[in-house]
């Protein structure tokens, strides 16, 4: 879909999860996750993991 519109899109590693980064009209960033990426996101982005990532424990 992004290719058809000429929008930049790439798969990105965000640490505990991956996403597809799409720049709509080269102005607005939208991160898209397929079902497997959503599972990784849900497992990785907990309050405890967030605190550990940023040294808040």
Distance CA 54, CA 21 (A): 23
4-52: pLDDT as tens digits = 999 999 999 998 899 999 999 999 999 999 999 999 999 988 999 889 8
Distance CA 57, CA 55 (A): 6
2-11: pLDDT as tens digits = 999 999 999 9
CA 30: distance to chain centroid? 9
Helices H / strands E in the chain, number of each? 3, 3
Q: Where are the domains of the chain?
A: 2-53
The pLDDT value given to residue 42: 94
Phi/psi class of residue 15: alpha, beta or left (left: φ > 0; alpha: ψ in -120 to 50)? Answer: left
The pLDDT value given to residue 15: 85
Q: Is 24 helix (H, G, I), strand (E, B) or coil?
A: strand
């Amino acid at each position: 879909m992004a290719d058809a519109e000429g929008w930049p899109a790439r798969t990105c590693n965000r640490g505990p999860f991956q996403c597809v980064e799409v720049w709509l009209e080269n102005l607005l960033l939208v991160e898209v996750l397929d079902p497997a990426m959503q599972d990784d996101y849900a497992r990785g982005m907990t309050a405890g993991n967030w605190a550990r990532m940023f040294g808040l424990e």
